[in-house]
Structure 1
Amino acid sequence: MSELSYGVIALCAMLFLTLGVKLAEVIPFRLKKSWNENVEVYDYSDLNPVEFQLNWGQRALLTLVFGAIVGALVFLNGISHVVIAKIIFFAFVCVLTAINYKHQLYPDSLVFPCLWLGLLSNAYLNGNSNDFVYGAVTGYLLIYFIYIAFKANTGKEVIGFGDMKYFAMVGAWYGVSGLINYFIVVVILTFCSLFIALFLRSHSKPLGTGLSYLIGCLYVEFFSHSFDILN
């Protein structure tokens, strides 16, 4: 790689460490504060900002993962508008993964901007956004129908509306075919994590779906062209 490529990777890592990590800490805190205000609970004793902060290990791991993703994108594709767009996408995904790990949330303030950026970037870079619009709609409806089916049969809500929006976001970036590959990978990972949890009989805090969703995005971006599940 050229010196420019190394510079881009270092710059992205530093920006993510300062901005991305901060978003992962501030947004859940503000959501909790807003929720307390909406339900007229003005006791902020449970809103200690320190509890919403990532520790140094989590910050380092998150930055290393994002830096590795940026490095892989630049190494495989060079510097281009498409690569810059994908770097922005994975910055959102990494922040969402951190938030989901700590708080089991996918904040609209991150998911919706990323979704719109996906549609706009694909409309600009590919000249035809139809497949990506269909991907966004398919992503939301696919999880919504699963949500309805589970609730009708079990009476329980095992999927949140944040998951629906997340799948719509992925569909906006990768289109219908990419979304289907993503869905299959996420389902496999989810069943594996459930099996491991049942086998270990773990009663600790659940890990959430963020890691599975991140791995699914990595599969679609880096491996689906060589190992397409649909073909």
Structure 2
Amino acid sequence: MKDVTIETIMRTSPVIPVLVIDDAATARALAEALVAGGLRVLEVTLRTAAALDAIREMKQVPGAIVGAGTVVSTGQFDDVMDAGAEFIVSPGLTETLGRVVVDSRVPFLPGIATAGDIMRGYDLGLRHFKFFPAETSGGLKALKALAAPFHEAQFCPTGGITEASARDWLAFEKVLCVGGSWVTPAGAAMADVEAKARAAANLR
């Protein structure tokens, strides 16, 4: 994926499912359901011991673009690259992690919540950001205010986005996609996940 930009990934579908996977044995079926529903970009968060194996399993699904989320250190970056992650999402942005990912040319979506965060990203040559945590950082009104001085920046709001609110976020021209977990509720059957994915894929 080194020749694919983060913008291309963000424009692939309007919703990126944010996945917390406890059992890697369920990962492939989950990816198949999401891709069948039209959501090809999948973010596997590093919040569980199963995450790296889940990335490996999901990579086997045709059409899936599998990335790693909640990457907070260069050690984790090395681990997810070994697992085959095709893009990187972090909850925040440090120069140490940012420089390593930027130099690798792997598509990168770092988290920002303030103007200072965006300026740090600009210093690294970045123009695409995850606005996180979106709702508790002031919501859509706050993002519009943040985006105004940074006309080149484009965003993927994540954190508190729901099926009901996603369309409002997506209506803002600076928002290329949103991240959300509502597509994969705990205990949902794969048929239900596929249906929710199809609805999410049609939000824009």
Band of TM-score, shorter chain: under 0.3
Higher relative contact order (CA 8 A, sep 6+): 2
Q: Return the TM-score normalized by structure 1.
A: 0.22
Normalised by the length of structure 2, the TM-score is 0.23
Structure richer in helix, relative to its length: 1
Higher strand residue share:
2
